[in-house]
Amino acid sequence: MSKITAALEAAVSTVQSNMPTDAAQTRRQRAEIDRAFARILKLIAPRIRHFIRQYGLAGHWEDAEQCCAIAVHRAILAYEPEKAQFTTFVNWQIRGELQSLRFRVMTDQRPSARKVEATTVSLDAITGGADGEGLSILAAIADEDALDRTEAGASDYLARSAMRALTDTYVEHLRNAGLDRINRRAQPRKLTRAERAAGAVAVPQPPVDTSEVSELEERIEHNRQVVQGRLFDIAPLDLGDDESTRERMRQIAKRAAKTIGDLAIHDPRFALMAEYREAMVSTH
């Protein structure tokens, strides 16, 4: 048995002896384990460097070293001195961890990658910057404006969603109000006291005029287009060349803005907008 092998066996024995299974581990025992583990890593450091190069993981050196440390820890926990020497046992643990790491990071070893001659490059590799200074690949591909664009895109998406929801709420309000007016006009006139005394009979309620409902839907759709195109600018709107038409659209948008503001106050979905509106009014 060589000196390194004997030293490894002694260090592993120290680790295992300070790992009680029937009692809580003391601070002194943890310190002994840390010292012994550091001693083991120092003794097998040349072997670790050799295996990292052998598996082509020099470009992922830090990750490979961490995998080897995990392999050593697992080997210590599972080591049985009567079955083999620790040097032999830990070799297979290290090989297994490095092979696993290689499959995860060296994607160019796959047949599909070989066909296109793909090469795996560490993101920590240093390249030359535009000014001649060293620059990591990760820093080179990082987009400094990505966060601002993401936040702007999310804000735009939320704003458009809110505008569409407000438009739908406004359209539903117009529809309910219009149908209510149509139904009231269709109701029979109430008889006066004299007519009831004379024995007059109330005229049955006539059916709702479907043409009125159709006209209502047309007006609502037109108002929707005006709101989305002129008020929110989220849909195209043909203003036409007639000044009277443009003026009507301005009036529709003006009334819609006031109605939407009133609806937002009473709708919990738009509570934040209502609070902002009140704050703006109070400041002016």
Q: Which residues neighbour 85 within 8 Å (Cβ) at sequence distance 6 or greater?
A: 1, 5, 9
pLDDT (mean) for 63-82: 90
In this structure, are 161 and 215 located in the same domain? yes
Q: In this structure, are 159 and 66 located in the same domain?
A: no
Q: Is residue 131 over pLDDT 60?
A: no
Do residues 153 and 276 both lie within one domain?
yes
Is pLDDT larger for residue 16 or for residue 261? 16
Domain annotation covers residue 61: yes
Distance of CA 157 to the CA centre of its chain: 14
Q: Which domain holds residue 169?
A: 146-186+208-283
Say if residue 53 is in the same domain as residue 174. Answer: no
Structural domain count, the chain? 2
**What CA–CA distance (Å, rounded) separates 192 from 182?**
23
- Within a domain: 128: no
**Does any domain span residue 138?**
no
Tokens of 195: 């007519």
Q: Which residue, 115, 134, 156, sits at the end of a domain? A: 115
Answer with the one of 115, 131, 165 that is the final residue of a domain: 115
Question: Of 72, 93, 115, which residue constitutes the final position of a domain?
Answer: 115
Contact 72, 5 (CB under 8 A): no
| 51 plus 7 within the same structural domain | yes
Considering the domain architecture, whether residues 110 and 11 belong to the same structural domain is answered as yes
Tell me, yes or no, whether 140 lies in a domain: no
Residue 120 forms part of a structural domain = no
Closest CA to 98 of 58, 148, 138: 58
Q: Is the pTM of this model over 0.75?
A: no
Q: What is the pLDDT of residue 66?
A: 92
pLDDT at 273 over 70: no
Which helix (H) or strand (E) segment holds residue 237: the answer is none
* Alpha helices, DSSP H, located in 106-242: 111-115, 137-141, 146-186, 193-197, 210-226
Same domain, 178 and 272: yes
Confirm whether 132 is domain-assigned. Answer: no
In a domain, 52, yes or no: yes
pLDDT value of residue 72: 92
Select from 253, 279, 274, 282 the least CA-distant residue to 162.
Answer: 274
Same domain, 154 and 254: yes
Q: What is the mean pLDDT of residues 13-40?
A: 87
- Does 181 lie in the same domain as 76? no
What CATH number is given to the structural domain containing 41?
A: 1.10.1740
Helix (H) or strand (E) holding 207: none
How far are the Cα atoms of 142, 145, 155, 163 from residue 149, in angstroms, in the given order?
14, 6, 10, 21
Q: What is the per-residue pLDDT for 39?
A: 92
Q: Does residue 124 form part of some domain?
A: no
Distances (CA, A) of 270 to 85, 169, 226, 261, 281: 72, 11, 21, 10, 17
Q: Are residues 21 and 95 in the same domain?
A: yes
pLDDT at 81 (0 to 100): 86
pLDDT of residue 261: 80
Do residues 43 and 157 both lie within one domain?
no
pLDDT at residue 162, rounded to an integer: 83
Instruction: Return the structure tokens found at 219.
Output: 């007006």
Same domain, 28 and 110: yes
Tell whether the model's pLDDT for residue 214 goes beyond 90.
no
Sign of the Cα torsion 43, 84, 56, 129 reads negative
As given in the structure block, the two tokens for residue 284 are 């002016």
